[in-house]
Structure 1
Amino acid sequence: MDLYIYYRVDRAHATPLFGKIKGVQAMLQARLGIAGALKRRPGEQDGLQTWMEIYQGILPASAEDFTRTLDRALEDSGAAALIRGERHVEQFEDVAPCA
């Protein structure tokens, strides 16, 4: 299962948030073996950027635990306070071929 998490970031918070998110992702890689990617939609709207975190290869049985660990890490790092509005979490799984 893969998680895609997107949210808005004020231009003024982009640099500090980048460091915090990369730190959280390094911790998740070291502790859980799950690497994260960080993307940004090109451009801005009203001084806000749209960012996306991607986490791939999460076992379905551990997705809820992973999400809780990620949320806690974002709070502990101070990253959550730099995000504007809600974080939107989407789960996707591979499409199995039809037999």
Structure 2
Amino acid sequence: MVDLYVYYKVRDENAARLAPLVRALQSRVIEAGAARLLRRPGGGDGVQTWMEVYPAVPERFADALAAAAGSAGFEGLVEGPRRVEVFVEFPPCA
């Protein structure tokens, strides 16, 4: 299992339209309550940084998420690419 982090930019004027689309995507691809949608505080130039967090998902989850996001209606609402980062737990110390 891995933790998946997806971050991207959103213009202030698109935030209210995009948030329900992201939450709908999250409810379709993962158990309710497990996914999180975060926003970096502050921001500037009318652009926000958002992050979707998917804890303890299978390694192949990123492919399924990318496919689902492609048809989620995000076109024109996200500035630039959605960047994906994968993190794993440190192994326990012996």
Which structure: greater helix fraction? Answer: 1
Tell me what 1:16 maps to: 17
Structure 2: distance between partners of 1:85 and 1:72: 17
Q: 1:74 offset after TM fit, Å?
A: 1.5
Identity over aligned pairs, percent: 39
Structure 2: distance between partners of 1:44 and 1:34: 26
Structure 2: distance between partners of 1:47 and 1:34: 29
User: Is 1:56 aligned with 2:55?
Assistant: yes
Tell me what 1:67 maps to: 62
Tell me what 1:38 maps to: 37
What amino acid does structure 1 have at the position aligned with 2:91?
A
User: How many positions carry a matched residue from both structures?
Assistant: 93
Stretches of 4+ aligned residues off by more than 2 angstroms: none
Gaps of 5+ in 1: none
Structure 1: distance between partners of 2:57 and 2:48: 27
Structure 2: distance between partners of 1:68 and 1:82: 21
Tell me what 1:47 maps to: 46
Gaps of 5+ in 2: none
Q: 1:34–1:3: structure 2 CA closer, same or farther, 3 Å change rule?
A: farther
TM-score of the two chains, using structure 2 as the length reference: 0.87
Listed as ranges, the matches of 1:60-99 within 5 Å are 63-64=59-60, 66-99=61-94
